[in-house]
Amino acid sequence: MLITVRKIACALILTIAVSLGSCRNPDLPLSGETKGNINLLMGNPSQATSSPGNSENYLIARPQYALSYSKNKGIPNWVSWELNSSWLGDAHRVGKFAPDQELPAGWEHIKSADYTGSGFDRGHMTNSEDRSRSPEDNIQTFLMTNILPQSPDNNQGPWVQLENYSRQLVRSGKELFIISGGYGQGGIGKNGLKATVGQGKVLVPAVTWKVILVLDTPNSGVAGVTKNTRTIAVIMPNKQGIKSDPWQQYQTSVQEVEKLTGYKFFTSVPAEIRSIIEAKIDSVEPREKPKLRQRN
């Protein structure tokens, strides 16, 4: 009965304030920690919180992105960010990799040096170029809580291709809500298979994944999501030998990424719409030779 009443109330609010796109799916709790952060407008995939006791699902919500961090793994579980034309500018890669001082007292601070000589790139989740509006925004993407070990061929090949394609969509007038992370343990870098780097402090994921919600009308919020809204999802092996692979080769559905990770994406979207858009497998054919990234 309570859920029914809440659903009715939410529907009424959405009717009144449709332009705000602020009505959240009533089947999941609303967290005061995530309310108002644009990067979590479409939901908090693991219901992360900023309680230090929640060390394996610790929420850091910045203006530039939001993430769930794992103290034991030394990497983010997921990172979520909005991307539209307002975030793009000329401040490309002005930051330097640095420990994140916002972690609770007593926690290990992963350093750039923990990756040195590992055979793995310091792989951005929120990409540096996605936060090129100002030096301040760009610097935030180099904090080590936004980084995980990516094989050079993953990071510099299909992963960067999808990042470039995402910005192409934005420049064509779209707005994206993106979530990415890694899963499993054990990746193959330049020095072969490794389960961890940094003397065991940093877990190496077996795959990297990303899900993207594509809005045709920027700033339309949740109200702009319909049954025809496009979603893009990929699961890529974290290994060498894939640098020339087109990113489209690794396309899947958002539902498959949910099955893999156990997360629930885009939970602010009404369930009847979410179930349709998350079941789709987007189809994009490669149109040009991939642009490859140099090792960071």
Q: Which residues participate in catalysis according to the annotation?
A: 124
Helix (H) and strand (E) counts in the chain: 6, 13
Residues 53 and 104: their CA atoms lie apart, in Å, by 10
Query: Distance between CA atoms of 292 and 243, rounded to whole angstroms?
Result: 8
What backbone phi and psi angles, to 5 degrees, belong to 175?
-125, 135
CB 61 within 8 A of CB 45: no
Strand positions, DSSP E, the chain:
58-61, 66-70, 75-83, 121-124, 147-150, 175-183, 187-189, 192-194, 196-197, 202-203, 207-215, 230-237, 251-252
Between CA 256 and CA 263 the distance in angstroms is 10
Query: Strand 207-215 to strand 230-237: parallel, antiparallel, or no bridges (unpaired)?
Result: antiparallel
Strands 147-150 and 121-124: antiparallel
Q: How would DSSP label each residue in 45-82?
A: TT--B--TT-TTSEEEE-SS-EEEEETTTTEEEEEEEE
d(CA 237, CA 247): 11
For residue 215, the number of C-alpha atoms closer than 13 Å in the C-beta half-sphere is 22
In sequence order, the β-bridge partners of residue 76 are 69
